[in-house]
Structure 1
């Protein structure tokens, strides 16, 4: 087991070394977020410079952890990689920088923890939520999904709010709701990829309620019943999104910038409605051409 873990780490570092030879650690994190989480990437560019570097460290860490399930098929190896990042978090809260692996994301996370006093609990939530659901192929209920999203998505918002120096109950409340809305939308986006991901992102209670089989999802076969099912999930996401937006008047301008991803979340729900909740509609595969303009206008008007 120890030898396997050593080989795994060596493999990770060889890839990172080749990737990071010509770019800084911070640039590596930005590129990682841009390639795998573009909507969050463009919205973080509006954060203040100091907070921005911390936000990219948090988002890149979350990406590294979330992608393990996609990259690894063997449960043992997947859990070993999660443990690797668990150890990184623990080392970040020690005063011994020599224990931090020479990994760009680990180095940037260490800086963020020490410069901004990030919450260890929220970093652990990002990890433990993935560990708990590693190898699981779906959620039982929508409530269970929301509990998972609170840990795996909302926790990232709490950390970025910390980076911005914002300690406000309204901001935390909005972060909780936006995290759930954004997370549900991401689960809806994953439905056409259910077979490839080996994960059914519609909770089993809804599949049973609307008499939808896994085979229908794997075959990307639209139906009225599936449309009703998607509508119920989308409605829950919309409720969380509207609650998050209703709280923005009580949040500072810097805090509101953290919630700019709400623009992309709303844009997807709007397009889904126009597609009559056909989750397999071709137009849903592409971002709106005016998304960047929408984000710029929302930031200019301080309405997110």
Structure 2
């Protein structure tokens, strides 16, 4: 690698290690020559998913996301590859034939983050997870050598489960900024409202809604586990984060779990869980 390439790769690694340690740790258990493209993919996701945290209004956020959409389409303004994450991502796309349309959908899905509209229903939430977590699983498996339809099926189910675990872990943070990812229709059917959620009150309605989501996510993991045998052996490491999701959902399903207390898993636990799964 040239000096510039080394610098860009190191930038991506640092970004993922800082903002998405779970995925960073999972790259420690793949062949060394596949770590760089995986970290490029995950750094791209970290950049896109953090836009809401970096802007005060929606419009600047939409502009940032549009920059990524343009970069993926080859319509970027200026020298896109001066951006270290974009440079690494575009190299990974060229090297592993990653699906640009799916990566663009991932960017589009995060437009929802910029506004305070509640998640309307479970179908929209599941579509969001397919376009975000599901896309990352599928692209990671492609980098590791499997382009089959089996990968896409496992990625969809694993992505749905991971999505539920992530919004549950982030619930107190999202509630404080008035961001509702719990399906609004499910919350209302259980007798609740977004107002009690924003107030940080663990009501029976919020508990029931979370229990439904967590149970469904655990069922998705079982399906994904059953399909893993159809994935090429060298690509199964792309799904190592499923072990973390399984652990987290188990903790979150406990009656003593308070979703309004920030859920934190230690880095040691993360590494230990991934090592055992590997």
Q: TM-score, normalised by structure 1?
A: 0.83
Equivalent pair of 1:123/1:155 in contact (CA under 8 Å): yes
The offset of 1:275, in angstroms, is 4.2
The offset of 1:194, in angstroms, is 2.7
Q: 2:240 aligns to what?
A: 260
Given candidates 154, 163, 185, the residue that maps to 2:134 is 154
The offset of 1:195, in angstroms, is 3.5
Equivalent pair of 2:92/2:98 in contact (CA under 8 Å): yes
Q: 1:62 aligns to what?
A: 45
Determine the C-alpha separation between the residues in 2 that align with 1:131 and 1:225.
28
Measured at CA, do residues 35 and 133 of structure 1 come closer, stay the same or move farther in structure 2, by a change above 3 Å? closer
Q: Secondary structure at the match of 2:240?
A: coil
Measured at CA, do residues 289 and 270 of structure 1 come closer, stay the same or move farther in structure 2, by a change above 3 Å? farther
Q: 2:62 aligns to what?
A: 79
Q: Secondary structure at the match of 1:274?
A: coil
Q: How does 1:134-153 map to 2 (within 5 A)?
A: 134-153=114-133
Equivalent pair of 1:91/1:99 in contact (CA under 8 Å): no
Determine the C-alpha separation between the residues in 1 that align with 2:130 and 2:123.
11
Q: How does 1:1-304 map to 2 (within 5 A)?
A: 24-91=7-74, 99-131=79-111, 134-281=114-261, 284-287=263-266, 289-299=268-278
Equivalent pair of 1:33/1:59 in contact (CA under 8 Å): yes
Equivalent pair of 1:100/1:110 in contact (CA under 8 Å): no
The offset of 1:213, in angstroms, is 2.7
Determine the C-alpha separation between the residues in 1 that align with 2:192 and 2:230.
42
Q: Which deviates the most, 176-185 or 152-161?
A: 152-161
Equivalent pair of 2:174/2:180 in contact (CA under 8 Å): yes
Q: Secondary structure at the match of 1:45?
A: helix
Show structure 1 runs of 5+ residues with no match.
1-20, 300-304
Q: TM-score, normalised by structure 2?
A: 0.90
The offset of 1:133, in angstroms, is 5.6
* Bigger Rg, which one: 1
Show structure 2 runs of 5+ residues with no match.
none
Determine the C-alpha separation between the residues in 2 that align with 1:205 and 1:87.
34
Determine the C-alpha separation between the residues in 1 that align with 2:173 and 2:124.
21
Determine the C-alpha separation between the residues in 2 that align with 1:35 and 1:80.
24
Say what the alpha-carbon RMSD is for the aligned residues.
2.3
Q: Which deviates the most, 145-154 or 215-224?
A: 215-224
Determine the C-alpha separation between the residues in 2 that align with 1:195 and 1:34.
25
